[in-house]
Amino acid sequence: MKNERNIYKPFRARLTGVIEESPLIKTFVLIPEERFSFGTGQFIELSVDGIGEAPFTPSSSPVVTEQIEVTVMRTGYVTEYMHNLKPGAFMGIRGPYGRGYPVEKFFGKEVLILGGGCGLAPIRSLLYALENVKDKLERVILCYGSKTPADCIYKPLFARLNNTEKFEAYRTVDRPDESWDGSVGVVTTLLNKVNIDIRNSVAVVCGPPVMMKFGTIRLLEIGYKENEIYLSMEKNMSCGLGKCGHCMMGEFFVCKHGPVFTYDEIKETPDIWK
Amino acid sequence: MQYKSIKKEEWDKSLERLLLSYTIFATVKNDFGLDYEPVDASNIVEISYNKPKPATSLKSFFLPIKENVTAKVQATKPRIIIGAPNCDIAGLEILDEIYLDKDFKDPFYSHRRENTILISADCFNITEHCHCLTYDVKPYSTSGADLAVVHMNDLMLFREITSRGKEFLSQLSFLRESDNKDFAAEIKEKHQYVESALTVSNKGLPDYKTTGSLVEKAGDEVWRKYSSGCVSCGACSTICPTCSCFLLIDKPGFEKIKQTDACQYPGFVRVAGGEDALVETHRRFRNRYMCKYVWKPAKFKPTACTGCGRCIETCIGGINKNKLFVELAT
């Protein structure tokens, strides 16, 4: 029997830090026990021993390989257990899986990123990757919307991006509180504030399905081509191997053929916004 | 077609000897009908040839209901499976696409495939719901299996399909090149008889390609009507030779148990947070048809429905997909 790596077997990663990002969201800092690297936008299956696993796109820089960060919203059975883990615990990792963002295709262009809610997690990884190649990019514009100011994660990220050459970051909230003096409204309202050279631009959309849907519609309205809109699809990616069928979206296994698709590739596919 | 022959009596004796080095399964008539059964010295004579079709599909020999997929692949005695009809053999093609995929080869499936000699049996008659030919699957194997076997008078006649099949046959004593051309002609006649019986029985049933476009165009009302008897038991998927979805269940020590699953079960595509694109029964029901006749064909070459008809036979809601397709076609 050849000693090939078992595709179903996770390797262990030690949890070294837990960062509270918002009441529902934590970032887990993990040191993998095996050599591990990923392309930005690819995802991993992260498991709690004996409980279950779930797919996440790491939120850390793909250039940093000794540790990875995964940002997790408490929203179901497995994530509830994850949120109770303390540093020192071991988690399981399988992956990385799927097709991430084709960063090299963004060279020479303006990159518009529309993010919503917890969708900022994969976007942060993408932003790190783009910062790393910023000499080859025209501009990077982040437009991010959250429900309330408190729901916004990675708050220091915005100030840092606005102090980084070629990067701009804008925020909006659906429901402001007394501390908020910024934009109010859904994320697409921010598009009126930014000046983009659409003919030389690509757009990335990542967030809850409803935000992705209306974000894409707006991008098409303002003139983005269907093959220049990159969507990070979220389905029930369970095995990550293009086998178990849970993430089938039309003819695609999102885990294998995605999770990043251009709108052009999936526009005829049913239930993409569900 | 070329045949090699061995006397039935000698074949049975050979099987008894082969039991020393192989685990053998074959189609045997039991109290419930024809099905794959383990073979031992006592039931060799009961092996059924030329008949369609075992109650369950061949799939479970390669994809067990439940297995620990984080364990090591165990070296096991090689296996021989005798009597698989071509609808089952054809079903393996799509399982191979998924489980022997070059990026992520399933080591358990792969081991079982390599470790199994497949001896397919030609069908010399049909059952009520057989419709392989409509989907371009012949009622006899010319590829996919290692050998095909026919029982005629007191002779077993073999068609060699793979080099492994040829090698397997060469170890049998008393094997003869079948010089009697009448056998080949007689078998051909039987094939023609079965094919015409299928054509008559499946009259009005659209072919595979047409079915795909009909399924794609069918409106919600059709899916609601035909799924009204569906209780989401998943029997259609479980018994299907090509349905291969599964669930991974975590056990302590980062172990994973892989268990067969079905898109007919509620919650199959549900994501954390509760969003579920297939929450209604008729949507899940449609999903299975879209998968088999539209999406899998768009992605893979082999057909994802081999026309075995078992999903019709097994459905406790009495749902007959062929009636649905005939309705869509008219």
**pLDDT tens by residue, B210-236:** 999 999 999 999 999 999 999 999 999
Q: Taking CB atoms and an 8 Å limit, are B269 and A12 in contact across chains?
A: no
Do B73 and B169 lie in a common domain?
yes
Q: Of the candidates B159, B176, B201, which is a domain's last residue?
A: B201
Collapsed DSSP state (helix, strand, coil) of residue B207: coil
**pLDDT tens by residue, B137-157:** 999 999 999 999 999 989 999
Number of domains in chain B: 2
Give the chain B residue nearest A240 (alpha carbons): B104
Do B176 and B215 lie in a common domain?
no
Q: Taking CB atoms and an 8 Å limit, are A243 and B248 in contact across chains?
A: no
pLDDT band at B36 (very low <50, low <70, confident <90, very high): very high
Q: Is the pLDDT of residue A1 over 50?
A: no
Spatial separation of the C-alpha atoms in residues A87 and A74, rounded to whole Å: 17
Spatial separation of the C-alpha atoms in residues A219 and A128, rounded to whole Å: 24
Chain B: closest CA distance from residue A244 (Å): 4
B248 vs A50, A238, A252: nearest CB: A238
Residues of B in contact with A92 (CB under 8 A): 254
Q: Taking CB atoms and an 8 Å limit, are B254 and A47 in contact across chains?
A: yes
**pLDDT tens by residue, B178-203:** 666 778 899 999 999 999 999 999 99
Q: Of the candidates B157, B175, B201, which is a domain's last residue?
A: B201
Spatial separation of the C-alpha atoms in residues A168 and A141, rounded to whole Å: 5
Residues of B in contact with A251 (CB under 8 A): 294-296, 298-299
Spatial separation of the C-alpha atoms in residues A81 and A229, rounded to whole Å: 35
Do B169 and B158 meet the contact criterion of CB atoms below 8 Å apart?
Answer: yes
Do B245 and B172 lie in a common domain?
no
Do B236 and B156 lie in a common domain?
no
Q: Taking CB atoms and an 8 Å limit, are B104 and A241 in contact across chains?
A: yes
Q: Quick one: DSSP state of residue B74? A: P
Identify the H or E element spanning B61.
none
A243, A257, A274, best to mutate vs chain B, most B CBs in 10 Å: A243
Q: Quick one: DSSP state of residue B172? A: S
Identify the H or E element spanning B326.
helix B321-329
Q: Is the pLDDT of residue B104 over 70?
A: yes
Do B169 and B26 lie in a common domain?
yes
Q: Residues of chain A whose C-beta is under 8 A from some C-beta in B?
A: 1, 4, 6-10, 12, 47-54, 75-76, 78-79, 92, 209, 234-236, 238-239, 241-248, 250-252, 256, 270-271, 274
Q: Is the pLDDT of residue A250 over 60?
A: yes
Give the chain B residue nearest A48 (alpha carbons): B254
Look up residue A146 and give its two tokens.
Answer: 């959250």
Give the chain A residue nearest B279 (alpha carbons): A274
Do B174 and B218 lie in a common domain?
no
Q: Which residue has the higher pLDDT, A272 or B210?
A: B210
Q: Is the pLDDT of residue A157 over 90?
A: yes
Instruction: Name the percent of chain A lying above pLDDT 70.
Output: 99
pLDDT band at B173 (very low <50, low <70, confident <90, very high): confident
Label residue A217 exposed, middle or buried (CB < 10 Å: 0-12, 13-18, 19+).
Answer: exposed
Q: Flag whether B190 is in a domain.
A: no
Chain B: closest CA distance from residue A209 (Å): 10
CA-closest candidate to residue B305, choices B121, B90, B143 = B90
Do B168 and B217 lie in a common domain?
no
Checking ipTM against 0.85, whether it exceeds it is yes
What mean pLDDT, rounded, does chain A reach?
94
Chain B: closest CA distance from residue A26 (Å): 16
Chain A: closest CA distance from residue B211 (Å): 16
Query: What's the whole-number mean pLDDT along residues A72-78?
Result: 93
Query: What's the whole-number mean pLDDT along residues A185-207?
Result: 94
DSSP, residue by residue, B238-307:
HH-SS---EEEEEETTTEEEEEE--TTSTTTT--TTS--TT-SHHHHHHHHHHIIIIIHHHH-SS-S---
At residue B187, the pLDDT reads 95
Buried b / exposed e along A12-48 (16+ C-beta atoms within 10 A): bbebeebeebbebbbbbbbebeeebebbbbbbbbbbb
**pLDDT tens by residue, A255-266:** 999 999 999 999
Q: Of the candidates B141, B169, B201, which is a domain's last residue?
A: B201
Do B271 and B134 lie in a common domain?
no
Look up residue B110 and give its two tokens.
Answer: 């792969």
Lookup result for tokens 């932003």: A127
At residue B178, the pLDDT reads 65
Do B305 and B159 lie in a common domain?
no
CA-closest candidate to residue B301, choices B117, B94, B155, B124 = B94
pLDDT band at A272 (very low <50, low <70, confident <90, very high): confident
Q: For every residue of chain A, which 3-state class applies, written as one string?
A: CCCCCCCCCCEEEEEEEEEEEECCEEEEEEEECCCCCCCCCCEEEEEECCCEEEEECCCCCCCCCCCEEEEEECCCHHHHHHHCCCCCCEEEEEEEECECCCHHHHCCCEEEEEEEHHHHHHHHHHHHHHHHCHHHCCEEEEEEEECCHHHCCCHHHHHHHHCCCCEEEEEEECCCCCCCCCEECCHHHHHHCCCCCHHHEEEEEECCHHHHHHHHHHHHHCCCCHHHEEEECCCCCCCCCCCCCCCEECCEEHHHHCEEEEHHHHCCCCCCCC
Q: Flag whether B232 is in a domain.
A: yes
Q: Taking CB atoms and an 8 Å limit, are A9 and B256 in contact across chains?
A: yes
Residues of B in contact with A6 (CB under 8 A): 69-70, 107
Do B8 and B153 lie in a common domain?
yes
Q: Flag whether B259 is in a domain.
A: yes
Look up residue B173 and give its two tokens.
Answer: 């004593």
Q: Flag whether B219 is in a domain.
A: yes
What Rg do the C-alpha atoms of chain A give, in angstroms? 18
Label residue A66 exposed, middle or buried (CB < 10 Å: 0-12, 13-18, 19+).
Answer: exposed
Residues of B in contact with A75 (CB under 8 A): 272-273
Q: Flag whether B181 is in a domain.
A: yes
Spatial separation of the C-alpha atoms in residues B212 and B305, rounded to whole Å: 11
Do A260 and A232 meet the contact criterion of CB atoms below 8 Å apart?
Answer: yes
- Residue-number span of the structural domain to which B311 is assigned: 208-329
Do B252 and B110 lie in a common domain?
no
What mean pLDDT, rounded, does chain B reach?
94
Query: What's the whole-number mean pLDDT along residues B92-112?
Result: 95
Do B212 and B170 lie in a common domain?
no
Spatial separation of the C-alpha atoms in residues A247 and A105, rounded to whole Å: 26
Instruction: Give the domains, in start order, of chain A with CATH numbers.
Output: 11-96 (2.40.30.10), 103-232 (3.40.50.80)
Q: Flag whether B162 is in a domain.
A: yes
Give this prediction's pTM: 0.94
Q: List B248's β-bridge partners, or say none.
A: B258
